[in-house]
Chains A and B, each alone.
Chain A
């Protein structure tokens, strides 16, 4: 029961963070939301009893990919032009 609740919470958080990545106008906040998505998916790997994959995902996905996105934002503008 408690495991099912943890799955539900993590999957809900995944959907919310994915929607946050799509709707953020501030690109730095969008990159951090994508890092949050990676962190939650590594938590999901840990609940599914694959701690090896979870450490890889937390290191590569949440750490290095977010760092590369933040460095890439330095080369362009931080805010998206408002179309919506």
Chain B
């Protein structure tokens, strides 16, 4: 069963903007309200829009469960790997050795009131990206299994 043409065209038009807004919330997690979990939930909302609008066969052709499972596991591995990377270099677990180092996300914070610089905070943006990827995959796969459980019965 699929929704009407109005719903399908609307979801096709809307979902790229929802994805971009979700990734904006993830990338600016260390500067503005929100972060990995919230941004991942917004991105999963965009995927849910497409899943609701189309039928089970069309969704199965568009979205692969194996990719989402890999995304979920990969996000968790990246999160733990970022924590363990400090231990290899002789620092405590989750030590933020990337901050103020001058490399990726390593700019020092500008003092005084300012809108904020994206290229700061060391590990925090990397962990937001890891959590965002993991929540995106996890919440999308929840809805995908709900759809396959409902529509496989042949109703």
Contact = CB atoms under 8 A, between A and B. Distances in A.
Contact of B44 (A58, A64, A70, A72): A64
Interface of A: 51-52, 55-56, 58-60, 63-64, 67-68, 70-72, 74-75
Contacts, number: 60
Contact of B155 (A55, A58, A67, A75): A75
Given A55-B25, A59-B44, A68 B143 contact: yes
Contacts of B31: none
Interface stretch (B71-79, B93-101, B115-123, B145-153): B145-153
Interface size class for chain B? 20 to 34
Interface of B: 1, 25, 33-35, 37-38, 41-42, 44-45, 48-49, 51-52, 139, 142-143, 146-147, 150-151, 153, 155
21 contacts: A51-B34, A52-B33, A52-B34, A52-B35, A52-B38, A55-B33, A55-B34, A55-B38, A56-B37, A56-B38, A58-B42, A59-B45, A60-B41, A63-B44, A64-B142, A68-B142, A70-B52, A72-B150, A74-B150, A74-B155, A75-B151
